[in-house]
Structure 1
Amino acid sequence: MDQKLITLDLDGTTLNANNQLSEHTISTIQKVSNAGNIVSIVTGRPYRMAEDIYDQLQLKTPMANFNGALTHIPHQKWAGEYRRSINKAVVYDLLKNKDKFHIKLLAVENKESYLADHPAPAFFDFFPQQLESDQILTEKSLKTNPTSITILVEPKYENIVKNQLLHYYGEFIEIGVWGGPNSVLEIVSKGIQKAKAVAYIAKFYNIDRKDIIAFGDEHNDAEMLDFVGNGVAMKNATPTIKSIANDITEYSNHEDGVAKYLDQYFKL
C-alpha cells in the first residue's frame, strides 16, 4: 500500500463528545504513523488549543491551525512554516465600531499570542476567562498583524454582522460561523481554507491526492473533503458534509469513529 497522508479535524471528529482523545484513538493513530504514514491535524483551533492533542498523539508532522492560516511543525523550526495574516488596521476599525457591529467579545491570535478586549464570559470557555495585563487588546498592544480574529456576537445579529463585515472588508477576509450555542464569527485572511493546507502538506511529502484520507464533520471541512482522494465524513457530520464525502464512518466521534475506520482500512 502506498504511503498515505491522513488529515484529521479535531472537534466532532477525532475528539469525543468531551473534547478528549480516547485511548483507542491514540493507539490507532500511533500504529498508523509507525507504519510509515503521515498523520496531520488540520483544525480551526488555535495552536494553544491543539498543542496538547498533538503531543498526546506523539506526532512529529506538520499541523495546520486556524483552518490553515498557520501551518507549522510544533516544537521545532521548520523551513516550510507559513502564516497568512490579516492587516491589523481591520482590528483597529473593529475596536472603534464594537457597538455598531454588536460585538460582545473581540479576540485576536497568532501562533504564540492571544489578545482580547476583555476576559471571556463564564459560559464561553473557548477563550481565557482571565487575562494578564499584556493580553488586553488595544491599538497599542496589537503590534503585529494577527493570524485570526474571533468575534462573539448576539445570536440575533449573527447574519447581519457577517454581511456588514463582508461588505466592509470582503476583499481581505474570509468569515466562518461556528455551529453550536454561541454566535461566533471566525475571521482569517482571504483565500484561507483547510484544503490549501492539506495540499501544501501533501506536496511537502510528495504524496498524491489519491493517497490522502481526510476526516471531518462540519462546514469548514467541506473543501478539504472535496479535495482529497478519500474524504470521510463522520456519522455525526452535517448533511452537507455527508453529501460531499466519498465515505461515512460507521461510528460517531464519541464511538471512536476515526479509529475504527482506520483499524479497518489499514487492517490493524
Structure 2
Amino acid sequence: MQRKLISLDLDGTTLTSTKKISPKTKQILQKATDMGHVVTIVTGRSDQMAIDYYDELNLDTPMINFNGALGHMPHRHWKDAYEITFEKKIVLEILAAKSTLGIQTIAAHGQGLTLTDSTDSSISPFFPAASRSQEILNQINLTKDPSAITMLVDPYKKETITHQLQQTYDSDVTVSVWGGPAPVLELSPKNINKKVGLKSLSKYYGIPREDIIAFGDEQNDVEMLSYAGTGVAMQNAAPWIRDIADNITPVDNDHDGIAQYLEQNLAL
C-alpha cells in the first residue's frame, strides 16, 4: 500500500471529550506507523499543551502547533523547523485596551512561551493562570514576538470585539472564533492556517497531497481538510465541516472514530 501522511487534529478528534487518547486509537496509530505510514499532530494547541499527547503516541515526527504557525521536531533539532510570528506591540496594545474592549483575560503564546494576564485559575480551563511573576503578561516579560494570542471575551460582545480587532489589525493577523461553548477569540499571523503546516510536512516526507489523510472537526480544520487528498470529518464535527469533507468517520471521537476509519481504509 502507498505510504500515507496521517494528520491528526487533537481536540474533538484524536482526544475524547475527557481529553484522553483511547487505548484503541493508540494501538491503531502505532500499527499505522509500524506499516510505514507517517502519523503527525497538526493542532491549534501550543507546543506545551500538546507535547504530552505527542509523547503518549510515541511519535518521532514533526509537530505543527498554533494552527500552522509553528513547525518543530519535539526533543530534537529539525532542519525545516519554523515559527511564524507577529509583532508583540499588538499584544501590548490589546492588553492596554482590554477592559474597554470587553476582554476578560488574554494570553500570548509562542514556542515555549505562555504568558497570561490572569492569576485566577478558576476563570477558564483554556487559560492556565500565571503562578509566578515571570508568567504574567506584561511589557517586561513579553520579550519575543508571539505566534498566537487567545482571549476570553464577554460573550455578548464577541462579535463587536471581533469586528474591532479585524478593523484595527487586519493587515497583520487573522481573528478567529474558537468552536465550542467558550467565548474565546484567537489571533494568528495573517494567512497562516493548518494547511501551511501540512504542506511543510508533505514536502519534508515527499508524500504527495493525494496521499494525505487529515482528520478534524472544527473551523480551524477547514483548510487542512480541503487541502488533504482525503479530508475526514469526525462524526461529531460541525455540520458544515462534514459538508466540506471527503469522508466522515463511522463513529465520534468518544468511540474511536479515527481508529475505526483507519482500520477500514488502510487495511489495518
For the aligned pair, the TM-score class normalised by the smaller chain equals over 0.9
Deviates more, 1:180-189 or 1:254-263: 180-189
Where does residue 194 of structure 1 map in the other structure? 194
**Does structure 2 retain, via aligned residues, the 8 Å contact 1:213–1:229?**
yes
Deviations 1:62-104 (A, max 9, x none): 1111101101110001111001011011011112111221111
CA RMSD of aligned residues (A): 1.0
For 2:256 and 2:54, the matched residues in 1 are separated by 17
Quote the offset at 1:50 in angstroms.
0.5
- SS of corresponding position for 1:100: helix
- SS of corresponding position for 1:151: strand
Where does residue 26 of structure 1 map in the other structure? 26
Where does residue 7 of structure 1 map in the other structure? 7
Alignment of 1:1-268 (within 5 A): 1-268=1-268
Quote the offset at 1:180 in angstroms.
2.0
**Does structure 1 retain, via aligned residues, the 8 Å contact 2:107–2:149?**
yes
Deviates more, 1:42-51 or 1:126-135: 126-135
Q: TM-score, normalised by structure 1?
A: 0.98
Deviations 1:164-203 (A, max 9, x none): 0010000000122112222101111001100111011001
Quote the offset at 1:123 in angstroms.
4.7
Quote the offset at 1:118 in angstroms.
1.5
The one-letter code of the counterpart of 1:240 is W
The one-letter code of the counterpart of 2:188 is V
- SS of corresponding position for 2:176: strand
Quote the offset at 1:17 in angstroms.
1.2
Q: TM-score, normalised by structure 2?
A: 0.98
Unaligned runs of 5+ in 2: none
For 2:49 and 2:126, the matched residues in 1 are separated by 9
- SS of corresponding position for 1:11: helix
Quote the offset at 1:121 in angstroms.
4.5
Quote the offset at 1:119 in angstroms.
2.3
Quote the offset at 1:140 in angstroms.
1.7
The one-letter code of the counterpart of 1:2 is Q
For 1:119 and 1:181, the matched residues in 2 are separated by 22
**Does structure 1 retain, via aligned residues, the 8 Å contact 2:116–2:129?**
no
Quote the offset at 1:129 in angstroms.
3.0
For 2:21 and 2:250, the matched residues in 1 are separated by 18
For 1:175 and 1:120, the matched residues in 2 are separated by 25
For 1:255 and 1:204, the matched residues in 2 are separated by 32
For 1:121 and 1:64, the matched residues in 2 are separated by 27
Runs of 4 or more consecutive aligned structure 1 residues displaced over 4 Å after TM superposition: none
**Does structure 2 retain, via aligned residues, the 8 Å contact 1:153–1:183?**
yes
**Does structure 1 retain, via aligned residues, the 8 Å contact 2:115–2:130?**
no
- SS of corresponding position for 2:101: coil
Between Structure 1 and Structure 2, how many residues are aligned?
Answer: 268
Quote the offset at 1:207 in angstroms.
0.6
Identity over aligned residues, as a percent? 44
